[in-house]
Chain A
Amino acid sequence: MREPIPASRPVPADREDSRSRSSLPLPSRVMGILHLSDSRRQQLWGYAFVLPVVILFAAFRLYPMIRAAVLSFESYDLLTPPRWVGLANYQFIFTNSQTVESLKTSAIFIVGQTIPLVLVALVLALIVFTIPRFRHFFELTFYFPVVMTTVVAAIIWLTLFYPRGLLDQVISPLVPRGVPWLTSPAFAMPSVITVGVWQLTGYYMIILLAGLLGIPAEYLEAAAVDGAKTWSRVWHVILPLLRPQFAFVCILAIINAGQAFDSFYVLTNGGPANATDIVPLEIYFRGFQLLQMGPASALSMVLFVFLMLITLIQLKFFRFQESVG
């Protein structure tokens, strides 16, 4: 792959010598000249390296996204050709009782899962950060459900939620008849949220823990020297310093909750009485069971706009300009 050295390029006086000193910083004058003469070749290499990913993203992310936007203004059932219907699909999803309910259910789920998730993760991260021993054991234990397949985790919980299964037996001293975990509209959502908290807490805890470990020790020591009590140290020193990571974790949890599908599909499939029918389930149901590609795409666009707004908030938080460089 070595390129022949163009005649116009000044060749370093003795190449063997420069090779043996290759780890040393080179005179900037020489480097500047080399960059200039090679810049075009390097530009092409830059494009070549990034091209495969750009093609894949264009074909399987951007293009489908554009198709979704177009489809959301069309009526299409796979069998007859698509027909332009203007805003009818949006009108439909904002008036049809089931789709309106799914938007509300998703909102309830996103709030209902994110709050316990990030609070539990925060408390656990603070505790794991503080304890002197067994930190690694608890990190591993809490993180393991994160790497489990969600469908598999949901199947396991399905057997725990089984009538007179383990959960019913654990609470039988309090509730002898058992709880309709997944079969009553009131309990189904909290049950699915419990599974989510069980599976995902470790992930957010690790991110927060990384944030805690990144706090310079001087801050903590200074607070200790001041004689601040543990709680006031946590409240006045640690938590304010952890705010960027905590905001990041909140946004990540919201984005992930907005996309949740697997555990719902396994545990409730939207039931009972549509009590857990979140937007991604409704997209799947409309698109692939009723073959209403138009309304399904309109719902997809609503989900997209939601994810975009949250992501933009995140980027504002994390100084997009700096990261783009």
Chain B
Amino acid sequence: MNIRLRRWGGFGVLYAVLILFAVFTLTPILFAVDGSLKPESEIFQVPMRLLPSHIAWQNYVRPFEQANFVRYFENSIVVAVVQTLGPLVLCPMAGYSLAKFSYPGRTIIFIFVLSTIMIPIQVTLVPLFLIVKDLGWINTFAGLIMPGLATTFATFLMRQFMMTIPNDYIDAARIDGAGELRIYLRVILPMCRPALSAVAIFSFTSSWSSFLWPLVVATQDSMRTIPLGILFFLGSEQAPQYGQLLAVAVVATAPVLVLFLVMQRQFIKGAMMAGLKG
């Protein structure tokens, strides 16, 4: 590669910049893991001690015994699983329709789908709350889940991906007499694996992190998800127990970290796919 400098020496500065930013990126995460294992008195000790004098495992036990964190995790898992399966089932269908079928109104439907990116939850917060309240869905899983069951991003990504599939596959299957549903399930979906895994990853992580809507719709402790639970935990203690807070933060990050490490290629590819639109 001619673009690259040939001598290693020339890269010294570049690597230094990257390492500097990597340290900036990793320090808070390592601090959180380290702090979660420290007794409360050592977290803000001056000068900072690098490692705990003894490992304070109770930081990881207490929040689950004394606060409602088992319940918060259950709620988060239910919401995230349904909000992953929903887009995974519904958005490829819509994407397929918009990419491969022709019918009156298709362009208008596509513009409508696209235009929903301009309507984030921050804009519709108040009326959406009123609608969900009228439906009797406050403090229910339906209320937590339904508004996020399909996403613009997933629909658009699937549509763009399916545009690249040659029509010949579909036409050939139709000549063979395959039904439309069968063509979709057996021919189209198997070809969409990269896009589907991107949709799954993004749906899961964004559902796992979602905060503003649950903050509004889950007012009972028993319906709180993890982000709400952590914040409630921070506010509820007389003097916040930072060791326990960091332990919960580590546990809340663990599922995402595992998913990230197992599917690292798909994460990076998915982000690149998202960026390559347009």
Contact = CB atoms under 8 A, between A and B. Distances in A.
Given A60-B147, A67-B127, A22 B176 contact: yes
B43 interface: yes
Contacts of B231: 151, 155, 265-266
Contacts of A179: none
B253 A164 contact: no
A119 interface: no
Interface stretch (A91-99, A127-135, A184-192): A127-135
Main secondary structure of the interface of B (DSSP, over half): helix
Interface string A247-268: 0110000000001011001100
B135 to A, nearest CB: 10
B179 A1 contact: yes
Contacts of A159: 31-32, 35, 43, 242, 245-246
A131 B8 CA distance: 9
Contacts of B182: 1-2
Interface residues on A, range: 35 or more
Interface string B69-112: 00000000000000000000011011011100111101101111
Interface residues on B, range: 35 or more
Nearest to B21: A124
Given A62-B119, A127-B14, A283-B122, A141 B109 contact: no
A60 B102 CA distance: 26
Given A162-B44, A248-B278, A308-B118, A53 B176 contact: no
Contacts of A146: 271
A318 B278 contact: yes
A318 to B, nearest CB: 3
Contacts of A34: 171, 174-175
Interface of B: 1-5, 11, 14-15, 17-18, 21-22, 24-29, 31-32, 35, 43-44, 46-48, 90-91, 93-94, 96-98, 101-104, 106-107, 109-113, 116-120, 122-131, 146-147, 149-150, 152, 155, 163, 168, 171-182, 184, 205, 208-209, 211-212, 215-216, 226-227, 230-231, 234, 242, 245-246, 249, 252-253, 256-257, 259-260, 264, 267-268, 271-272, 274-278
Closest 5 CB pairs of A and B: A46-B101, A207-B275, A318-B278, A1-B179, A67-B127
Given A120-B21, A245-B275, 11 more contacts: A62-B112, A68-B127, A127-B14, A141-B22, A148-B253, A159-B245, A213-B272, A223-B3, A280-B212, A283-B125, A318-B277
